[in-house]
Amino acid sequence: MNILILGGAGFIGTHLAAALLQLGHVVRIFDRPSTNLPAPIARHPRLDSVEGDILNLDEVDAALADMEFVYHLVSTTLPKSSNDNPEYDIETNLVVSVRLLEAARRRRIRKIVFLSSGGTVYGVPDVVPIPETHPCHPISSYGIVKLAIEKYLHLYRVLHGLDSCTIRLSNPFGEYQRIQSAQGAVGVFLHRAIHRQAIEIWGDGSVTRDYVYVGDVAEALVAMLDYQGREKTFNIGSGAGMNLNQIIGEIESVLGHGVARVYKPARRFDVPINVLDIGLARRELGWSPRTSFGEGLSRTAAWITATDAQSG
């Protein structure tokens, strides 16, 4: 199949592209200029890499030409920054996504898979683990916009027959995560620990999240291609919670040395706990995470060490 990955040179997109290519698909990556793909992916004969700006509708529309499936992985904001400028969040994520849906309708795209946020759309949970049926009361612009995009996907299914599925992802970690942009606690903590730098923790370290290895995330995204069932929204995570202090303990175990910690005041937008119920994905997709936190942490540590050696 011909598959377009919007944001395909990013953290998750890189792993997804590799998985799709391995399965024999033709993959087109659309991402910003100057984004670097690992050499085995960049040189693959079935990969087409297109540089462009998600804000430029003409460039996005051109990237959709001859495609059958689309993965929408792009976000211009992070949860911690989205509340600083909600207008920017709306203009560059929600409005852009609606324009994408219009273009996909015109191009007769068969299916769109959207990467939403299981960590933010639910808000403060009433029950844990959180099922897909849980009420959604996000407390960040990031989560509100993700939820709004989900609603527009539903609208386009009803009005125009444009098929789509949504993955509400927990907290992914692994190789190719953009540590320099403070993307993901696990990668940032691990990088600082490897370099014997203190780790900054917002609050007392009890904030609990659901962390899932990125290779398992890619497998879930691939499973969405052939899924023909009635469900349209899936939680994807590990199904288990881990707090920040426990993460640092695991890092110390993998690295074999202690890590300095600096505790700072808690942030208002951090919900105390977020752990996803992944039972629906198990039943409908036949998917469950295969990589333990410790194994994923070891792989990520090896990648960071190798990357630092190459750049240094």
Q: CB–CB of 15/174 below 8 Å?
A: yes
Which element (helix H / strand E) includes 200? strand 199-202
Which element (helix H / strand E) includes 77? none
Kindly report the CA angle at 168 between 163 and 174, in degrees rounded to 5? 120
Q: CB–CB of 218/12 below 8 Å?
A: yes
Q: CB–CB of 213/174 below 8 Å?
A: yes
CA 45 – CA 65 distance, rounded (Å): 19
φ, ψ dihedrals at 35, nearest 5°: -90, 135
Q: Is residue 227 annotated as a catalytic residue, yes or no?
A: no
CA 111 – CA 225 distance, rounded (Å): 8
Choose, from 71, 88, 122, 142, the residue flagged as catalytic: 142
Q: What are 48's two structure tokens? A: 């087409």
Could you give the 3-state DSSP secondary structure of residue 263?
A: strand
Three-state SS for 221-255 is: HHHHHHCCCCCCEEEECCCCCEEHHHHHHHHHHHH
CA 7 – CA 302 distance, rounded (Å): 25
Closest CA to 207 of 254, 153, 246: 246
Q: CB–CB of 152/98 below 8 Å?
A: yes
Peptide bond preceding 129 in cis form (omega within 30 of 0): yes
Q: What are 157's two structure tokens? A: 């299914």
Handedness of CA 158, 164, 170, 171 (dihedral sign): negative
Active site residues per annotation: 142
